[in-house]
Structure formats: C-alpha cells, structure tokens
Structure 1
Amino acid sequence: MPAIRFQSVSKTYSSRGGALKALDSVSFDIEEGEFFGLLGPNGAGKTTLISILAGLARPSAGRASVHGFDVQKDYAQARRQLGVVPQELVFDPFFNVREALRIQSGYFGVKNNDAWIDELLESLGLADKAHANMRQLSGGMKRRVLVAQALVHKPPVIVLDEPTAGVDVELRQTLWQFIARLNREGHTVLLTTHYLEEAEALCGRIAMLKTGRVVALERTSDLLKAASSNVLRFKMDSALPQALREKARVTGRIVQLPAHDAHEIEEHLAHIREAGLRVEDVEIRKADLEDVFLDVMSDKAEKAAVAG
C-alpha cells in the first residue's frame, strides 16, 4: 500500500472569467519511506494538490488517500498520518514555543509528549527559545516552530511545502539534517521547493507539474541521465549572437548553454568569436536538475511531446 495515492485528482475553481482548472487528472503514488519531490512553476497546482491531501480543499473529481485512508471519507485517520509544513507563517501570538507544541500535541490526543518536544526543540535549534512568545521570534525561528508543530505527533508522512523559502543557510542545513534522519528512520517525505539543488540532493523520485498536469514522473537519476550531458557556462558583458539567444539561459552576466558534446561546445564558442565578443570564466559542467526542469517546462518540449 502506498503512503500517498492520488487518483485522477482534478480541481476547478469558478471565476468571473470562467472556470479555472488548477489540477487536471493528476495520478501518482508515493511509496512508504520515499523522499519525493513535487516541482513546478508558480501556479502549477502544487499547493492545491497538497491542500487536497491535507483535507483543506475538496477535489472536483478523483480521490487522494494516505496509507489507504481517503482524505475526505476518513479525514480523521488520514490527518493523523500527516504532518504538514505550510508555506505561510501561521502562529498563535498568545503562547510561547513549548506551549504551542503541547497544544498541537493535544489536537491529536497525544499525552505526555514532553520528551519528544524536547528532542524537536533541540534538533531544530529552538531549545533556547522554548519559553519565548511566538511574537518575539524572527521569521526563520517561526518557520522552525511550524516544522516542529508538523512533527509533534510523530506522523509517518511529512509534507513540506516550500519549507526553506526566505530562510537562512543555517536553518536549511539544520532542517535537512533532521528531515533526512527521519526519512532514514522510515518516514515518507513529500517536498515542494523552488530550490532545485535541494530536490536534486534529497529526492529519490520527482514529479513535475505544469498548468495542473503531470509532465514528468521519474527517478531523479533518470531525469538527469536524459538531460543534455554538458552545459557551457561563461560570463560576458555584451549581448549574445542571434544564433545563441534562444538556446541560452542568461542571469546577469552569466550565460549557460546546453551542449551535448565537444563539437557543440566548439560551435557555441565559434559563434562568439565570429561576433568579436569577449568572455570570461569559461567552464563546462554536467547538466543539473535546473537544466532538466527548464527543458521540461519549455514550450518546445511540450510541442515535441504533442507531436510525438
């Protein structure tokens, strides 16, 4: 039995401009113990799918289940299996950190939970903030508390919706060390993130959403193998030659061009030399998950799939 199952899940919202389809027949399973990534641009439907899983939104069609419990029909049982860390910073300003975690334990009927609460506080760098009021915490510390609240009832399935958005490097490292430990101990993890290097490092399998549809579902290693084998990277101050503009990914002075082999690398450099342009810090690297993501999300990739 999978830890999470989505079966033809669709979600349509009514608006003045007509119906908006946020999800379109999304189907996939996440097995027990997986570290699974759910990726997609803003508006792809990731948070809508997680809201349906958590019982915060109803699907227009299809069903979702957690360890076999339907999230609509068996809501209480399904919710006990889940620990969800939302994108938004939501907190009760009237309690300190320890009180907030004890109250969260009570929501799930968990008593005498102080030993686990102490471990959460220590593991997430919150031990010295245990008696601080939630209003006194920085944004990063409040996010740590959200993670602790999601884990306080020891859920077998952990859902992280952009957990490191806008937080410092220290929190990211602390969080991933702790979550990776829980995953090794058997917890299933579903992660959405815009930090694709995190997904590449952590997730064994990845689904990509675009406009509410699954456009890729593979093991991370297989996605990387299917990508262009190399990327030519350099810095320059001038505009690229016309022949390279559509292929390039440009960030400020940094230019990155896909290249399948040495011949294609030489072709790219030849175009630059012929245009009389000067480049700096030239290097060749292997394609990463960001390269794969941009390729999958491109209109050219979608048209090729339709044509095929």
Structure 2
Amino acid sequence: MSAEKRHVDEPTGVETTGHVWDGIRELDNPLPRWWLYIFYATILWALVYVILYPAIPLVRQATPGLLGYSTREVVEADLKRVMESRAELDDKIASMSLEDIAHDPTLLDYAQRSGASSFKLVCVQCHGSGATGSEELGYPNLNDDAWLWGGTRDAIFTTISHGVRNADDPDARTSIMPAFGTMGMLNRQQINDVADYVLSLSGAEHDEAAAAEGAPIFAAQCAVCHGAGGEGNTALGAPRLSDPIWLYGGTHEAIVAQVTSPRLGVMPSWKNYFDDATRKKLALYVHSLGGGQ
C-alpha cells in the first residue's frame, strides 16, 4: 500500500510535515547547511574533549583524559602562587606590632583587605555581614564605640586570640554577672527598681520613683563592676550602662531578665585556628569598622 501523499503548501510549494495546530501547518524545510555543519562540529568537539580531558564520571573519579588535565590542580597552583605572593607581607605583619602596622599605609591596606576576607569566613555567622551583631542573640555590634573588653587594636587582638568565656583557653576573657533573681540575692521588686534606675542612667524613659528606690541597690550590688555612674569597666568586661547601646536589649523587660538570670555570651578562641598574621589582620579590620578606640 503506497504511502499517503503529503500535503503541499500552495504559496511556497513545500511539503508539510503533516502536523496541524489550529489550522496551521508546519513546513518541512531542511535545516540550513551552515547550521548542520556547526552541529556536526560540536559533536566532533565533544568526542575530542571526552578523549583529551576528564569527562565521564565513574564510581570514584572521572576518566582522566589523555592530557591528564585537572582543574583542582590548577586551583591549587593558583592558591599556592597567591600564598607565595602574600608570604612576605604576612611575615612582616607577624613580626610587627599592631601600632607599627597601622603607620605603614601599604601594610595597613593589605591587612584590612585580607582581614575583611577572614571576617567573612568565620565572623559573619554571629556578628553579621555588616558586623552589626544581633541584640536579640547577644552578638555585639562592632561598628559602635561600646566595647566590653576595650576597642584598641591590642585589646581586639587579645579578644580574637583567646575568645570570651572559652573553657579551652586559660587566657580567655572571663567575667561572670551574678544571677541576682535566680540566686535570691534580690527580690522581684528590687530587680524592677534597679531596672528603672539603669534606664535612668542612659536617659531612657523610666519610673522616677522606682529609679530612686533602685539607686541604693545599684550602688550596693552593681557599681563595683559597672561603676557608680554606669560607665562600665573594660578590665572586667562590664558593659557601660550610661549609653543607649545594649547587648541584650534596653527595654525594662530585657534588663529585668538580664539581672534575674543573665545570659553570658561565649566567643571562640582563634589562636589555634589562625596564625599571628591572620589574627592581626582581623583585629585591624575590626578596628577599622568605625568603632575602634
């Protein structure tokens, strides 16, 4: 039985494929030769690539290819070249004081740029990409001028090196705020009065009568660390209470919660993970954010 004669488009004289969509027929035009040649060339190139380069995935690795090319080796070589180019600068930074580095424009620029990269690698998880921290979680904002342990280059370097309340490092920054409520040192009313007094130190809205009651309690229980005027003490890691910057929130409720059962943040010690040069670069970068002293 002969095949059914295919429909011919009258205007063009070209046979159609037989496909019809809403009365529209598809012309059976051959592909342009230039397109076919390019298509054949890509097939040929693919075959050559498979032979010369790693291409076919196997159980443990891909086929190596005749040329033995490896992008991993290229990257490793590039990284090695970068490390070698930085080695001289890193050696200088490791051997110099932070103050001396700060007075060398070339070294300082390199240190801050490199420190920014390290910061994005290990610090943004807590302090944020903009180093603004998190009041809700108690991660300090590194852009302001409120420092628990001091904002000088050396102080920042020490904090980065040894961490805060890190049991694995005997030189870690350590301070403990008593749980005045949980331990029964102050009752609920006394804590509320102290909270109002603390709010008054920074000029925040507060109950004046309650603040007056809380003043002598603050003087007896809190001033030894935070100072008589709430100015704080970086030697002890005691926060300044006379400004509007708060680590765990500056509302009456947040202060009551902190006095009752304080949250005590922990920061890792980085001395076993980063060499002196890297920690110095991190310190210089953090200091440059705007809040360094």
Give the structure-2-normalised TM-score: 0.25
Give the structure-1-normalised TM-score: 0.24
The structure where helix makes up a greater share of residues is 2
